[in-house]
Each structure stands twice: as C-alpha cells, then as structure tokens.
Amino acid sequence: MIQAPLQEVTEENRPRDTLGAIHQSINSHMQAMWVIVEDEPDVLVYSKFFSTDRLNVRSSSINKRKSCKNVEKIVDTILNENYEKIIGIRDRDSIDFLPAYTLKKNVFLTDQRDIEMQMLKTNGVVLLLKQKDSGIEQKIENVKPLARAIGCYRIFNDIKEFGYSFNKKLKIGRFRDDKAHVLKQGALVELDSSFFEGRTEQDRNDFDNLKDVCDLKDFALVCNGHDFLALLDCLATIPHLKEFLPQCYDMDAFKQSTLYTDLKNWADSNNVSLFEGT
C-alpha cells in the first residue's frame, strides 16, 4: 500500500503540536525526515533550501509555544524514541556567552546570533538590498551601535534569567522616530533605568563585565536580528524590509554559511538527501 505524502494530511486531522505531527507520521509508518526550526518565519527561510518532497520543515510548536529550547526538546524526544530521521536548526542566541553550553545531538546553530543577522552578514544579500536602497550599507552601519547596545541588555537578560520583559516595558518602537526617519539614541537611557530598577550594584557590575565582552564580539553575534531589522526599517527605503530580506537569501548565499556545511556533512555521513538537487 502506498502511503500518502505527509503534506496531503488534511488540516482538520493535522496536529498543530509538532511532536504530535511527528508521532502521527511515525505511527503511520511514514519514514519521513524532519527538520525542526524555531518559528514560522524560519520555516519560510529554510524550507526553500530543502527537498520538501522528501522531508518536512516544521516549527518548534509545543503547547502553542515556540523557542530554541523547544527545538532541542523535540529533537531529543524523538531521538530517544529511536527515530533517527530528525534534525533541528536553532538560533545561536546567547550561546557564545554561555561557556557551559553543550551542543545537543542533531541540533545545528546559525552562524550569527539568529538567522536574520546571518542573512544581513551575507555580501550577496546586501548587494540585493542595495539595488532597492543605494544607501543601505551606511544605514546598516548607523544601526549597529544602537542594536549592539540593546543586544547586550537582551543577552544579559537571557543568561542571568533577569526576567525583564522588553515587550511590556520598552518595545523596540521607542527607539524609532518614524516621522523624521531617525533613531532615538536617547531611549537607551530609558532602557537602562527601567532595566536596573530595583536591582543591586552587583547586577550593574555583572552587566558592565558582560558589556566589555560584547564589545569584543562581532556585531552579528550581539545584535538581535528582529531589533536590527526594526531599526533599519526606520532608515531604509525598502518596502516590507522584514519580508524582503529572506527573498534575497538564496541557496548560493546559504552555501556560504558554516550552518550549510554542518548540515551537508551530517547529511553525507548519514546518507540522507537534505537539499534540492542532492
């Protein structure tokens, strides 16, 4: 009996939870290959590189929540059930600032802090952006200091489990003047005050030490890609920049990354065809 492709499972019967979808596939004896990424925008970025007729790219949805930790959890869960046809791709996030972090089996990392920064660090992508906005390179340079500063707060918040909610207390829009198309550097003072409200002097010292480390890192390892694009969008003349950027990131650009090399090496060693044309 020929099994129907997983893509043909109706939406009514398709589990919204990714683990549920994988278990349904396994129980139906479909020997599908799974690639787990963080969220739906990541699905759009990565799925165009993979042989989608032979594998499934899904977000890390567990109980309607998606995260890099969920990527690791899903992959680890399925591997522990002795099903080997699964890999995960997650953003680096704050890993470079966590010396105790151990890379999980079958989980691969972006070259930069996240896939957005990885795309922006690719020369071919910037050249395509330049066709839409001739001044984009200088505008990227103008964004770097502010995005780096915000990124340092985000990294500290993450690795110290500080509990600060950027969405609730100081959204990225506070750093934009959309009428004048300039960035509001002064909002950093507001962020700093809000971030350390009620905190200790030791917290401040720990942050200053982290900031020294951040200053030595490449901007693309420190800046949050969503922040960077939101700030760049204020300066650029490219409509729908957030949606346009992934369109500029093609297979040739992806092949320049360490992530591609790591995935290709895994595929070759496991006799798996991941990419279109392989």
108-160 per-position pLDDT tens digit = 999 999 999 999 999 999 999 999 999 999 999 999 999 999 999 999 999 99
Please tell me the distance from the alpha carbon of residue 92 to that of residue 117, in angstroms, as a whole number.
Answer: 10
Tell me the two tokens of residue 112. Answer: 């930069």
Give the model's confidence band at 5: pLDDT under 50 very low, under 70 low, under 90 confident, else very high.
Answer: very low
State the burial class of residue 67 (Cβ atoms within 10 Å of its Cβ: 0-12, 13-18, 19+): middle
Rounded to the nearest integer, the mean pLDDT of the chain is 91
Name the maximum alpha-carbon separation found in the chain.
Answer: 68
Q: What mean pLDDT comes out for the span 28-39?
A: 90
Q: What is the pLDDT of residue 100?
A: 84
Nearest to 96 by CA among 111, 107, 76, 106: 111
- Strand bridging mode 176-177 / 182-183: antiparallel
Please tell me the distance from the alpha carbon of residue 96 to that of residue 222, in angstroms, as a whole number.
Answer: 9
What are the CA-CA distances from residue 90 to residues 54, 60, 69, 126, 155 (Å)?
21, 10, 8, 23, 16
Q: What is the pLDDT of residue 29?
A: 79
Weakest mean pLDDT among 18-27, 180-189, 250-259: 18-27
Phi, psi of 249 (to 5 degrees): -95, 95
Instruction: Tell me the pTM.
Output: 0.90
Give the model's confidence band at 11: pLDDT under 50 very low, under 70 low, under 90 confident, else very high.
Answer: very low
Residue type, 142: N
147 close to 113: Cβ distance less than 8 angstroms? no
9 close to 44: Cβ distance less than 8 angstroms? no
